[in-house]
Amino acid sequence: MRSQKTIQQAVAISGVSIFTNHDANVRFLPADEDDGIRFQRVDISHSKPIHARIENAVFRHRRTAIEFEDASVEMIEHVMAALTGLQIDNCLIEIDGPEMPGFDGSSQLIAEALLDAGIVEQTTLARCFRMQKSVNVEQDRASIVGEPNDGLKIDYQLEFGDGSPIPTGQLEFTITPETFINEIAAARTFVLESEVEAMRSLGYGKKLTAQDLLVFGQDGVIDNKLRWPDECIRHKFLDCIGDLSLIGCDLDGAFHAIQSGHALNREMVRAILASHDSEQRQRDAA
């Protein structure tokens, strides 16, 4: 058991969004106990804060987004990973556009800003969802199995197949603030060079270069250097942490993921909650 946490003071960061090409300004603000993580569009008059929970999640290609009434915020997964990884339970994030900045494609700059703001304990105990049974979700070649566990543990298997310049591999981490900062936070978004061309045709990434994330050509990373040989797998951990946090509290479980992405990560959250609701109904009927 641990106490809830928030940040000590407001902190601001800014950058360019990947998909909507906005120059976005973001402020992280302290929040009261049990407020949770909320995003607010300050560029939309009278918009209400959007709770970062699975019931507010909406589909967007290659990213996670939340929506409530007339406002939405896209690509929140790297912010959510930083908040969850640092065990910050309560925070209001103000943004003046539709999408969080991409920064360098990782959570590092976000985590550094939050650490600079200071993290303070609150009096109320943090809530934790403890998995009671195994849950499985799959789609095409991707799958996730979640099992009961003390604490949050993830192992991820990445395999794009023969001939892909993205390295195949497998890693496992028990997620703690120390592990997140030292092993995961700096892992950047990666794409294939062919995917970049397709994304640009859709209007994405107009303000980005190959130095703003990891772009893989047939001979490896273009105009950039890997921070770890297995940086791509580590970034998948970052995405999993951010997406699973949409359960709305700490999560105790062991997750075995193969080639999963944002949509399947979110589906795992829905499956966990559906399994819990089913068990509760059975207990109530007994």
- Positive or negative CA dihedral for 201, 204, 208, 211? negative
What is the chain's Cα-based Rg?
18
Instruction: Give me the catalytic one of 78, 235, 256, 262.
Output: 262
237: nearest Cα among 286, 178, 170: 170
CA proximity to 147, closest of 267, 87, 155, 139: 155
Residue 46 bears catalytic tag: no
| Residues identified as active-site | 262
